[in-house]
Amino acid sequence: MNGAQQASLPTTARGASGWRGASMRLLRMFPGWRLWRFYPALLFCVLAVLGWECMARVLHSALVPDVGTIAGEISRILTSGEAFTQIGITLWRIVLGFAAAFIVSVLIGIACARRPAVRIFFEPAIVLGLTVPGLVWTLLCVIWFGVSLATPVVAIALGIAPTLILTVIQGVNSVDPDIMEMARAYRLRRVDVFRRIWWPSLIPFLFSGARIGFSLAWKVIVLVEIFGLSDGVGYKLNSEFSLQNVEGVMAWTIVFWLAMSVLEYGVFQNAERALSQWRREART
Amino acid sequence: MSRRIRFAGVSKAYAQRAGGNRDVLRDFDFEIAAGELVAFVGPSGVGKSTLLHLAAQLDVPDRGAVTIGADGEYPGRLGIVFQQPRLLDWLTVRQNLELVLDGHDDARIDELLAIVEMKDFVDAWPRTLSGGQRQRVALARAFAVKPEVLLLDEPFSALDELTGRRLRLLLQQLWLKGRPPTGILVTHNMQEAAFLADRIVILQGHPARAVDVIDVDLPRPRSPEDECIFHIHRRVIACLSGFSQTNRLEGVS
Ligand SMILES: Nc1ncnc2c1ncn2[C@@H]1O[C@H](COP(=O)(O)OP(=O)(O)OP(=O)(O)O)[C@@H](O)[C@H]1O
Ligand SMILES: [Mg+2]
């Protein structure tokens, strides 16, 4: 890396002058100040907890357990290790279903973007997929595949593929035609065109597709686990529900939300940052 | 080995939205000798870029043929520079050059970047470079392939005068290094045409015709200060404005 690039690294981290600079210096005295970007998110969490606690105290109802009760329930499922097993089971199903949908969607999406006839061929299927609720796929898959791994995988794949296909089509269409013309003039090999031009152009779209896909997948997998399976977070949610255990339902939801946050901040954002280094160093 | 470029009876028409076709070229014949650099000048929309696209085989003629080298021969290695650099923003300067090369040739990349004075930026992202720096990389990329055919579509017109002047000198330097390719330069800058080209072709009309061809018989390396270049520059301008005058007169009558 040369000097000019290093000089263009974020000026905020370097400390600007005035009020902003002073607050940055103050911030840096705390351990873990590097997490400062996340403070607004933390603020939201604190406010949400406070708000809930107020509501619980005002309503004073068994249907709205207070923060302490929910926290106790969370720590119970965490310390017993149950949370980790069940989340592991559910996440594994999501990952498999997502992987299947991802591969199919990239292939179909690229074909659709390249050939109008292919797109018109798949259009009814995509519209159908976008319209049909996840519940319908769930019921059909439970009927067809019963209690097997195929049920969640196929249901998730069907549930998220249409959305993923649309993002891939959008991504392929975003490839700069001028760059493609350059590639044709230099007679670049097909693999290079795919690896060096298409893939990098697709990456931001694939990430946003993956985020949407994961959240959709979660909504499908819960239903599958409620209706067709005997383990996983969805199954747990359902059994807490049948016991009328409100804090149990909330604890499982929160724990899964935490797992997804770890995935978002720990995996998605880091991977995206690593893959788009050029964007950050560039001047805008 | 550089190769001749031959336009033989080339016709090209584009469908117009208003209906009907617009003939850009009709039975256009022209031949560029191996190792020769020919500049195409003429008014906007006359069909210069169209000719270049046909030579790059980015487009096919409706009739006739554009052949590079002997008939039926493989068209050869081609370098091209557009008005915009068209670099891949997500690859470093070095990777951008590697992309068009078959395999790694670090020595060649370093040598070319040294000539275009971009050696310090091998690992930079294109977005961190200035417009002129990016265009220099694009120039190095065109020469990285050891081109037998070099096509330049207004390569310096997006740059300021001084940068353009510097890049023209660099282009001449690259041109003289090794066996010169066969080249087509499209430009609106008559002085650039006079400085770089062996022949200047003046295109006019719809469909486009070569109304005049001016030979530039100056040895290389040339200096942009050379009196002869100003002389040729004036001739090209006179030729072009003469034509636009007759066109205007015809339009009035
Ligand atoms: N893809 C296209 N579709 C329709 N018409 C086109 C297309 N490309 C070029 N033309 C037409 O062909 C004619 C010649 O265009 P061309 O780009 O070759 O002009 P040019 O001489 O390069 O002009 P300039 O100096 O402005 O770049 C123009 O009238 C243009 O409208
Ligand atoms: Mg043009």
Tell me the per-residue pLDDT of B114-147, one tens digit each, with 9 for 90 and over. Answer: 888 888 999 999 999 988 899 999 999 998 888 8
CA distance B168 to chain A (A): 21
The candidate with the shortest Cα–Cα distance to B152, out of B93, B225, B86, B69, is B86
Domains and CATH numbers, chain A: 65-283 (1.10.3720.10)
Tell me the per-residue pLDDT of A233-276, one tens digit each, with 9 for 90 and over. Answer: 999 999 999 999 999 999 999 999 999 888 888 888 888 888 77
> Where do we find the tokens 């000198």?
B169
Find how far residue A34's CA is from the centre of its chain. Answer: 23
Q: What is the ipTM of this complex?
A: 0.87
pLDDT at B219 over 50: yes
Q: What pTM, to 2 d.p., does this model score?
A: 0.77
B109 lines ligand 1 (CB under 6 A): no
The average confidence (pLDDT) of chain B is 86
Question: Greater confidence, A183 or B218?
Answer: A183
For residue B206, give the 3-state DSSP assignment: coil
pLDDT at B40 over 90: yes
To the nearest 10 degrees (0 to 180), the angle between helices A82-114 and A67-79 is: 90
- pLDDT bucket at B80, cuts 50 / 70 / 90: very high
Which atom of ligand 1 has the smallest separation from the CA of B203?
21
- pLDDT bucket at A33, cuts 50 / 70 / 90: low
Q: What pLDDT was estimated at residue A168?
A: 93
pLDDT at B63 over 80: yes
Round to whole Å and give the CA distance between B149 and B137.
18
End-to-end CA distance of chain A: 19
Which chain B residue has the Cα nearest residue A194?
A: B99
Contact A118, A112 (CB under 8 A): yes
**Best residue among B26, B46, B192 to mutate for probing ligand 1, ranked by most atoms within 8 Å of CB:** B46
Domains and CATH numbers, chain B: 1-17+77-208+238-253 (3.40.50.300)
To the nearest 10 degrees (0 to 180), the angle between helices A82-114 and A199-227 is: 130
To the nearest 10 degrees (0 to 180), the angle between helices A39-59 and A67-79 is: 120
Q: What pLDDT was estimated at residue B244?
A: 61
The Cβ of residue A166 has, within 10 Å, a number of other Cβ atoms equal to 19
> For residue A195, what is the DSSP state?
I
**A105: Cα within 13 Å, side-chain hemisphere:** 30
Q: What is the 3-state secondary structure (H, E, C) of A218-273?
A: HHHHHHHHHHCCCCCHHHHHHHHHHCCCHHHHHHHHHHHHHHHHHHHHHHHHHHHH
pLDDT at B75 over 80: no
Residues A182, B90: C-beta atoms closer than 8 Å: no
Which atom of ligand 1 has the smallest separation from the CA of B50?
18
Contact A278, B89 (CB under 8 A): yes
Find how far residue A235's CA is from the centre of its chain. Answer: 21
- The mean pLDDT value for A145-163 works out to 92
The candidate with the shortest Cα–Cα distance to A182, out of A169, A196, A171, A172, is A196
Contact B103, B51 (CB under 8 A): no
Distances in whole angstroms, Cα of residue A181 to Cα of each of A187, A272, B11: 10, 27, 22
Round to whole Å and give the CA distance between A78 and B166.
68
- pLDDT bucket at A3, cuts 50 / 70 / 90: very low
**Best residue among B16, B17, B22, B40 to mutate for probing ligand 1, ranked by most atoms within 8 Å of CB:** B22
- pLDDT bucket at A186, cuts 50 / 70 / 90: very high
Nearest Cβ partner of B88 from A179, A276, A282?
A179
- For atom 19 of ligand 1, the residue with the nearest CA is B45
